Structure 1
Amino acid sequence: MEKGDVVLVSFTGKELLTNKTFDTTDLETAKREGLYKDGQVYKAVPVILGNGDVIPGLEEELLKLKAGEARTVKIAAAKAFGERQPALVRVVPLKEFHKHQLKPVPGLIVNVDNRYAKVQSVSGGRVRLDFNPELAGRDVEYQVRIERHLAKPEEKAQALAEKYFPLPEDRKVRVSYKEGNLEVALPGNLQKEVAVLKQVYSKVIQAYAKEVKNIRFVETVGLDEAKAGTGEKAGAAKK
């Protein structure tokens, strides 16, 4: 594989010290390891090599593989989720939580200035927060396989649409492509962040599916939703 290639990757990752699985694209593994989340789709995920979509050590290994090849790789913390940084542990006055009617307890995940942290301890009117990634400082192992190398523009567009607009299977984004023109059909009533996602998706397509010259986004809602005050929406975005 080369940087810039778009591939479908299946994987299972575990933390080596505890042998605990922390992520997987396989449904049965997710259920067995207690990772299953209702509504989440378990299947190979699109990865743009060289785009930082996966941790550095895993990306290095993917670049060595061919479509259809599988490998089990051990990745040191420095090339996984990074080493732990003491500077990312902060102490915050308990009263700051009381202002927001929050009761911090050890293990609670909180959002502070749009950054997630885990509560380590609560003592003496102070709360100790850890902003390090959960797996910082841990060596990991991945069982990984490149299922497919996506070469056609319509294949890339569909896979990346599902990546940037993650929706349940019955509402997933559909794309159609012809002679440089790409149409992206979105279900209606998406969250307000959809405008930003459209911009991000368009930039990614421009960079990694250069055959596409124009993108048109179409949003459609059903008649029942229209009666509730919504209607068919259509928008075009040209690169």
Structure 2
Amino acid sequence: MVKTKKGDFIELDFVGRIKSTGQIFDLTVEAIAKKEGIAAQGKFEPMVACIGSGQLIAGFDVAVSGKEVGAEFEFDLKPEDAFGRKNPKLIQLTSLSVLKKKDINPIPGMQLDVDGAMATVRSVSGGRVILDFNHPLSGKELHYWAKVRKIITDKQTQVESITKLLGIPCEVSIKEKTATLKLDQQVPKQITDVISKEIEKHVAGISIKFAG
């Protein structure tokens, strides 16, 4: 059987759970989502990622390398191999009045955008609010079920997977060794430079150009 390796683009399904509670925090399988009563803004579909590119969290990246295509497997990740341990310096105390001036009425568990940084409200008491700027899954041990569906060799699918992960809506067309990206909206040059660098780094033999 063919096994995955660093540099491969793979299509995979997975279900990620918080190990201590069994709560699902991310998944790609629609049937499981329906069974668990999970709703999503988008549709559930397999993920495409490049092994060793940093597109997956560190422990997940290691776990999917060397696996047979079609095989199902499960694994646990310690916090340091997932979303990191909690950093006490990222837990801050602020005044409730400051947030209310921004038309924010915080309640515990709510996630807020505070000056461009995401924070979770940990407590609201006595006019004070504790905000946690750590990743919501930091400090958590995770459990994954995963299945490598196939290795992706099609260059267009590889390029499209990178633009999707970067959150850049665009149309991709490839002619010979050039991928043309037609962006839905105008973006700064520093952003197109990042897109080009990521694609040319991970998709062998492809150069990038942008169409208006």
Query: 4+ residue runs of structure 1 moved beyond 4 angstroms?
Result: 192-197
Q: Which of 43, 46, 70 does residue 44 from structure 1 map onto?
A: 46
Q: CA deviation at 1:165?
A: 4.4
C-alpha separation in 1, matches of 2:168 and 2:210: 19
**Aligned: 1:16 with 2:19:** yes
Q: Which of 202, 205, 210 does residue 211 from structure 1 map onto?
A: 205
Say which one has the larger Rg.
Answer: 1
Match of 2:196 in 1: 202
* 1:182–1:215 contact (8 Å) kept in structure 2: yes
* Paired residue total: 209
* 2:12–2:146 contact (8 Å) kept in structure 1: yes
Q: Which of 179, 184, 208 does residue 181 from structure 2 map onto?
A: 184
Match of 1:230 in 2: none
* 2:53–2:202 contact (8 Å) kept in structure 1: no
Q: CA deviation at 1:51?
A: 2.1
Structure 1 gap ranges (5+): 168-172, 218-233, 235-239
Match of 2:99 in 1: 97
Q: CA deviation at 1:211?
A: 1.3
The percent identity for this pair of structures is 26
* 1:106–1:122 contact (8 Å) kept in structure 2: yes
* 2:69–2:148 contact (8 Å) kept in structure 1: yes
Match of 1:157 in 2: 159
C-alpha separation in 2, matches of 1:12 and 1:84: 23
* 1:153–1:211 contact (8 Å) kept in structure 2: no
Compare 157-166 and 57-66 and name the one that shifted more. 157-166
Compare 47-56 and 11-20 and name the one that shifted more. 47-56
TM-score of the superposition, structure 2-length normalised? 0.86
- Which structure has more RCO (C-alpha within 8 Å, separation ≥ 6)? 2
* 1:5–1:49 contact (8 Å) kept in structure 2: yes
Q: CA deviation at 1:129?
A: 0.9
TM-score of the superposition, structure 1-length normalised? 0.77
* 1:22–1:35 contact (8 Å) kept in structure 2: no
